[in-house]
Amino acid sequence: MWAPLAFLTVSITLLSWPSGTSGGTTLAKDPEQGEELGTAAKQMRAAEPYYAAVWKLVGGAAFGVLAGYFLDQWLGTKPWILVGLSVLGISVGFYGFLRDMFRMGKR
């Protein structure tokens, strides 16, 4: 639960690092926003599509399992809705992950 919040906090901090130099590291200009980015911020920006793809895979599976579990508890149909939504969530997450990976491969 805290991982997305920590990732967001680190990303915002790195992407909004002040202009100039810091600790002897030269900052490069960001052509999109006219501000300067550090090495770590450039690496985080380059890794962002991969983080998004992984979150689709994990999020689809987690949503399917949690929704199936709670629907089974509510309807008393253990374990059939859990199994069905788990398979559906994993399938949808895997499809989104592969779609993003193939899109990145075409760039």
Give pairs for 47-50: CB < 8 Å, separation 24+. Answer: 48/11, 49/100, 49/104, 50/104
Average pLDDT over residues 81-98: 96
Q: What is the pLDDT of residues 2-18, one digit of tens each?
A: 444 444 444 444 444 44
pLDDT in tens, 50-76: 999 999 999 999 999 999 999 999 999
Token couple for 22: 């810091």
User: What pLDDT is attached to residue 63?
Assistant: 96
Which residue shows structure tokens 């398979």? Answer: 87
CA 81 to chain CA mean position, Å = 27
Q: Which pLDDT tens digit goes with each residue over 29-41?
A: 556 665 677 888 8
Its sign, for the CA torsion 7, 47, 30, 18, is: positive
Q: Where do the domains of the chain lie?
A: 2-106
Residue 21 has pLDDT above 90, yes or no: no
